[in-house]
Structure 1
């Protein structure tokens, strides 16, 4: 099914079944379809049509999903804009995407259409003839190197990915997702909204994630699953021992965006009675390429097996496929992006002979599960020796006091780079740098032991919630 016709299809088959909610209201299928039609007519009145781009500058709320489907009804694409961006950053994305309108709230000069206008009906609009090749989403990368790039995903990408997620997670009409990830990121859109709706289920949109109130939302809305990133699970694992929520409605929790330490998975599963299903993918691959099987065996420390319909392989620097790793993880399938908007050279460097180059180093274990070794760009070269920060981070995570760990290379005049670690601790935990260094010496060869380990209250994060290693590197460079 073409994703754009999903609201009308659901309304026709089961008009009164619940569809979409946030903390302010609930829509059944008929109500959701009606809101999409109204919003589409409002966008049409603003001149939006086939091939245009609609920018949506909103926090997580029901209207953002309404705007998404309204634009698709007209044959337009959507670029979700992180509302936390500076005015200059947001203006760059809007201009780069060539947005026809910018939907938002408040008095920003960028906003050309208030979100309240989506509820004001204009002249009735006939839906555009849906095409799988129409551009659907422009998702902007976090921009850790240079300007962010617009990842072009068409409707064929979205349909393929949502069908893979529905099959991989075993989603059905009884499933109910609780969205806690930002809707400017493809994981939030695909895993927590499009996939449950395609499966006949429903979605509830939470506002900004707060660890202290998260389980109250679970108890209130009774979702069957949610998708999060490792930092969220770390915050949940760090809640006081007195927090003992009712999680009986949850049949699984999904983890993506960055590898989750096996020890953290164990703590979350044992403490909260939730099965954590870890996957792996990129925005350029429309979200996910591997997934640990829901029915098992799940293997913490891996990111699972390739999703059916995709090829996931390893490649050497000369472009040759490897039968044994480690090597760069490459992906091929109907989920691979169309390319980067107006960046033909970068597109050609990223997609070679149909293979999406991820920039991640990995290997397959004896059962065909993908193990991520590290990011190629995060590799530390110490006196000519290649060190992978993730290996060191995993050792630090094995210490019972360590909640999160990040290892980066610090400049060193003789060796080039040396590993330096920054960690956060579980609430109430006390540990010295000397103890952590000895913990590493007992488990790592000498050259892999961090030169120093800093204990901090919190680690810096990028807009998606990943640990911001470039910020840590800049801080090291600035301090010498």
Structure 2
């Protein structure tokens, strides 16, 4: 993507210039802004070595005129790359506006709108909070500080990713008002723990970079769901959801991205998730299509069974496939392994006993082995890193010590 204008504050310009060696030591890499072949302007305080300040109320020198209609490109944002190669997603002014309207409607439908503080650092909570005049606080990085922040602010709405929620719960956090989580799987057990820690409501939000939000479900509705798979809720107003012939979930609607950079527009977003719609029209995820495990000619989709492994005492659990071995006749065949991360202080013999029922009900999809270990995480959303979990499982099976 060839930029027409780069806006950067003094710290970013330093990391891309004279302080690049220090930035690299901190695992931070930015391109050489002077080599991009376009104007660079400084936002925020300008230091003597910075590019010229952004001209307010005037067109920046060398910048071509831009379209400003609803169909104009508004933002290019990259997917996280945790489930596939990162892709550049192009949203227009219209798709962003539609997404924000959906978020507003979801917040309004969830209960009374409050002007108490809101805790979160994403569009999902920032926009509704700012439009109603509520103060916004960014979550602290430390789990213990975050717990104190929640106690002091008593926010009306809190948005934290599932890993941050687990960290906060581990630090003894108490919640208030409504808690929202997304960007990674959030099971009924985790949402129930959040409600047990004081939240009036705990919502799991299904959203993609390409379309946000798509669906949402509250803890009590999710806990009441008894079928296989992961219930993520009914499509939100304006969102169309249809499985294709292969079971992959397709989404469309006014808030869907316009296109991927360099590709033609496409009204349908291919999620990569295998899913079905239940009798009530709600979306039930069955796992990532690419995460399918092939065992003795049977296709096993982990997402169908992983929710049942989250019994009390389980922090996180994934099902992964590792090569079965056994010679050329078994080429391509896999062993199914459950990697279960116990909650701190959990008695392992009791946890094994609690898992016996769910494992038995998995029938032919019952895993060949259950390993207790910390589940690796990856990406900015800290989703389970399945390749790393599979490598961990293979190593543990080869050397049980």
TM-score category of the 2 structures, normalised to the smaller one: 0.7 to 0.9
1:199-278 paired onto structure 2 within 5 Å: 199-208=132-141, 210-239=142-171, 243=172, 245=174, 247=175, 250-278=176-204
Aligned to 2:227: none
Contact 2:376 2:388 in 1 (8 A): no
Deviation at 1:288, TM superposition (A): 1.1
2:101 is equivalent to residue 160 of structure 1: no
- Assess, with a 3 A threshold, how the Cα gap between structure 1 residues 389 and 339 changes in structure 2: closer, same or farther: same
| Equivalent residues, number | 360
Deviation at 1:304, TM superposition (A): 1.4
1:55-454 paired onto structure 2 within 5 Å: 86-87=27-28, 90-91=30-31, 101=40, 116-117=45-46, 124-126=56-58, 130-144=68-82, 147-170=85-108, 172=113, 174=115, 176-180=117-121, 188=122, 190-208=123-141, 210-239=142-171, 243=172, 245=174, 247=175, 250-285=176-211, 287-292=212-217, 298-300=221-223, 301-317=230-246, 327-342=247-262, 344=263, 351=266, 354-398=267-311, 400-413=312-325, 414=330, 416-432=333-349, 435=353, 438-445=356-363, 447-454=364-371
Deviation at 1:91, TM superposition (A): 4.2
Deviation at 1:164, TM superposition (A): 0.5
Deviation at 1:406, TM superposition (A): 1.5
Query: Per-residue displacement from partner, 1:343-386 (whole Å, max 9, x unpaired)?
Result: x2xx67xx4xx211111111222322211111111111212211
Contact 2:9 2:43 in 1 (8 A): no
Contact 1:173 1:200 in 2 (8 A): no
Task: Please give the TM-score of this superposition, normalised by the length of structure 2.
Answer: 0.76
Deviation at 1:466, TM superposition (A): 1.2
Contact 2:316 2:342 in 1 (8 A): yes
Cα separation, 1, equivalents of 2:368 and 2:215: 34
- Assess, with a 3 A threshold, how the Cα gap between structure 1 residues 194 and 134 changes in structure 2: closer, same or farther: farther
Cα separation, 2, equivalents of 1:256 and 1:374: 16
Deviation at 1:159, TM superposition (A): 0.7
- Assess, with a 3 A threshold, how the Cα gap between structure 1 residues 53 and 337 changes in structure 2: closer, same or farther: farther
Deviation at 1:166, TM superposition (A): 0.4
Query: Per-residue displacement from partner, 1:313-337 (whole Å, max 9, x unpaired)?
Result: 22213xxxxxxxxx22111111111
Query: Per-residue displacement from partner, 1:96-136 (whole Å, max 9, x unpaired)?
Result: x99864xxxxxxxxxx9585439997654258884323333
Deviation at 1:225, TM superposition (A): 0.6
- Assess, with a 3 A threshold, how the Cα gap between structure 1 residues 122 and 427 changes in structure 2: closer, same or farther: closer
Contact 1:302 1:371 in 2 (8 A): yes
Deviation at 1:173, TM superposition (A): 6.3
Task: Please give the TM-score of this superposition, normalised by the length of structure 1.
Answer: 0.65
Over aligned residues, Cα RMSD in angstroms? 3.8
Could you list the runs of 5+ residues in structure 1 that have no partner in the other structure? 1-49, 60-82, 102-111, 181-187, 318-326
- Assess, with a 3 A threshold, how the Cα gap between structure 1 residues 254 and 155 changes in structure 2: closer, same or farther: same
- Assess, with a 3 A threshold, how the Cα gap between structure 1 residues 122 and 135 changes in structure 2: closer, same or farther: closer
Cα separation, 2, equivalents of 1:99 and 1:392: 51
Query: Per-residue displacement from partner, 1:394-442 (whole Å, max 9, x unpaired)?
Result: 23212x2211112111122326122112221112112159657745543
Deviation at 1:224, TM superposition (A): 0.9
Contact 1:163 1:195 in 2 (8 A): no
Cα separation, 1, equivalents of 2:217 and 2:71: 30
- Assess, with a 3 A threshold, how the Cα gap between structure 1 residues 458 and 358 changes in structure 2: closer, same or farther: closer
Aligned to 1:76: none
- Assess, with a 3 A threshold, how the Cα gap between structure 1 residues 393 and 98 changes in structure 2: closer, same or farther: farther
Cα separation, 2, equivalents of 1:385 and 1:313: 25
